[in-house]
Structure 1
Amino acid sequence: MADPDLAAPSPDWTIDQGWENYTAEEHGVWKTLYERQIKLLENRACDEFVAGMHALPMGPDEIPNFKKLSEVLMKKTGWQVVAVPGLVPDDVFFEHLANRRFPSGNFIRKPHELDYLEEPDVFHDVFGHVPMLMNPVFADYIQAYGVGGLKAQKLGMLKQLARVYWYTVEFGLVRQRNGLRIYGAGIASSYTESLFCTDDPSPNRIRFELERVMRTNYRIDDFQEVYFVLDNLEALLELDRIDFAPIYERIKAQPELQPWDVAPEDEVLHRGTGVYHDAKR
């Protein structure tokens, strides 16, 4: 959702990136974040993320120019990156996705905020999200999510659909030939969570099942207590073809699950120790 005190700069909330206004310090923050993250992800990110990163005009020395990114994206998958001042209203967000426009914050975090930022900045949005938009399967999935979001709003089921986005686009893992790999932007743009989600024994790792995910709350203030794992990214295409209306009706009658819950029907790939979050409770 948008900051309620922030006025819409335009009907679709887009603004000029203002690339020429970035300072040397801001480019330096990008460089610090980029260099430590790119090394970490070489053996943790999924193949599609790595391929997308290599194909984009994105490097360590400067914050990427959205126009240059969009030129490459448009040729590959028909997407473009548009600048927004921060979080935008849900309907605006879905409308952009449904039309293959990815809204990205144009600001970058301060040097003292390298490891945690409440609001997504240009590093999270561009480094974390844009490489996956070079993959045709994922690009189609994100557009379908935008269309589905507009429908979910009308049905009053936005919370349930938002959980699908959270546990796939933001914090998703996928099985590949070399083991579990990251494709979610919330992980890919976070040094500490990139380590936690794949290496730490604390969280549960459970095979992705749509209705299970739609019933599961998530954390916004710390590492995730559960990661849902796809067998492959092509499984996302199945979500494009599903009629969500009957699913919404079914899950209305089922209890919500907490992030630490393990349900009897779960296919548990790794049963977490829970040590990390238990120590904080």
Structure 2
Amino acid sequence: MSASANTARLKEQFDAGLETRADFTIDQPLERYGAVDHAVWQQLYARQTALLEGRVCDEFLAGLERIGMPATHVPSFDDINAKLTPATGWRIVAVPGLVPDQVFFEHLANRRFPVTWWMRRPDQLDYLQEPDCFHDLFGHVPLLIQPIFADYMHAYGRAALAANDAGALPLLARLYWYTVEFGLIRDAASPNGVKIYGAGIVSSKGETLYSQQSAAPNRLGFELERVMRTRYRIDTFQKSYFVIDDFEQLFGVAQTDFAPLLTKLAKAPAFAAGDVLDSDRVITRGSREGWQDDGDV
């Protein structure tokens, strides 16, 4: 996901001497991946694919198989694009790390998904503050080969550019967070009636188990304005998850005229991450166990 950051900080922390272009893309430095990087990828891939069986939506697993993502080593981005681009017009581009919001949205609006090139260390398997190659590639890319989700991401990029220009970016940031990163989808046969599709969940062992099985969080039916007004957590598991009925619902969101909606919601008060409203479609009401009282973004 994107974050506001200045060029100097990015170059200092992430580019490792690599040439960074004006749009923050780089050539994927395949020669930089060592045995440890490939071993970490292999361990994470094996752990998550085993854990996600029966927990993640079928579309994610189908995308993973269709792309042919390797299980034993960090993938070549060119190899991924050879499958992805003919299918939906998307391609992945290597970046040094988090990129500024405007740059991130411009990439999405042009069907380019920025993927961090570097891999986390072995002592960071369970938590990493910044997204790495595994999160970006394993978490996000399998759904980009699915046309409906690919179109949603494209529409989101265009809408986010408009929101950024209008000073309404937090509204679109919440939509991204509660769909692309931490989205759930209805499945009556699954625990708590949901399966997983958000990248922040599918790439995390802890959030995979928590989001679907824990009694602590709320699971609420997706409603666009409600989501855009709801704050979220970046330091702990989520207090609330929003559940789509199916991916056609996201396709409907992609058709939204966001300009009047942004104007309407610009001065509307935000809801706390754990709020449950009388108007919500409550799938499960959280027990609130382990919740912190502050820290919503």
The TM-score range, normalised by the shorter chain, is over 0.9
Match of 1:19 among 23, 30, 39: 30
Match of 2:218 in 1: 204
The 5 A counterparts of 1:245-264 are: 245-264=259-278
Q: Give the Å deviation of 1:16.
A: 1.1
CA distance in 2, matches of 1:193, 1:200: 10
CA distance in 2, matches of 1:277, 1:194: 18
Match of 1:222 in 2: 236
Q: Give the Å deviation of 1:279.
A: 9.5
The 5 A counterparts of 1:1-281 are: 1-4=3-6, 5-7=9-11, 9-176=20-187, 178-179=189-190, 180-277=194-291
Q: Give the Å deviation of 1:213.
A: 0.5
Secondary structure at 2:92 match in 1: strand
Q: Which runs of 5+ in 2 are unaligned?
A: 12-18
Structure 1's 33 and 280: CA in aligned 2 closer, same or farther, altered over 3 A? farther
Secondary structure at 1:276 match in 2: coil
One-letter code aligned to 1:94: F
One-letter code aligned to 1:107: W
CA distance in 2, matches of 1:13, 1:62: 25
Q: Give the Å deviation of 1:240.
A: 1.5
Aligned length: 281
Q: Give the Å deviation of 1:10.
A: 1.0
Contact in 1 for aligned 2:163/2:262 (Cα 8 Å) = no
CA distance in 2, matches of 1:195, 1:165: 21
Q: Give the Å deviation of 1:251.
A: 2.1
CA distance in 1, matches of 2:266, 2:293: 33
Q: Give the Å deviation of 1:2.
A: 5.0
Q: Which runs of 5+ in 1 are unaligned?
A: none
Structure 1's 134 and 178: CA in aligned 2 closer, same or farther, altered over 3 A? farther
CA distance in 2, matches of 1:280, 1:12: 36
CA distance in 1, matches of 2:203, 2:229: 26
Contact in 1 for aligned 2:168/2:266 (Cα 8 Å) = no
CA distance in 1, matches of 2:243, 2:83: 29
CA distance in 2, matches of 1:81, 1:245: 28
**What is the TM-score normalised by the length of structure 1?**
0.96
Q: Give the Å deviation of 1:193.
A: 0.3
CA distance in 2, matches of 1:20, 1:52: 27
Contact in 2 for aligned 1:206/1:270 (Cα 8 Å) = yes
**RMSD (Å), alpha carbons:** 1.6
Structure 1's 3 and 157: CA in aligned 2 closer, same or farther, altered over 3 A? closer
Structure 1's 253 and 94: CA in aligned 2 closer, same or farther, altered over 3 A? closer
Q: Give the Å deviation of 1:264.
A: 1.3
- Identify the range of structure 1 (7-16 vs 42-51) with the bigger mean alpha-carbon deviation: 7-16
- Identify the range of structure 1 (265-274 vs 237-246) with the bigger mean alpha-carbon deviation: 237-246
CA distance in 1, matches of 2:147, 2:246: 14
Contact in 2 for aligned 1:3/1:88 (Cα 8 Å) = yes
Shift >4 Å, 4+ stretches: 278-281
Structure 1's 161 and 35: CA in aligned 2 closer, same or farther, altered over 3 A? same
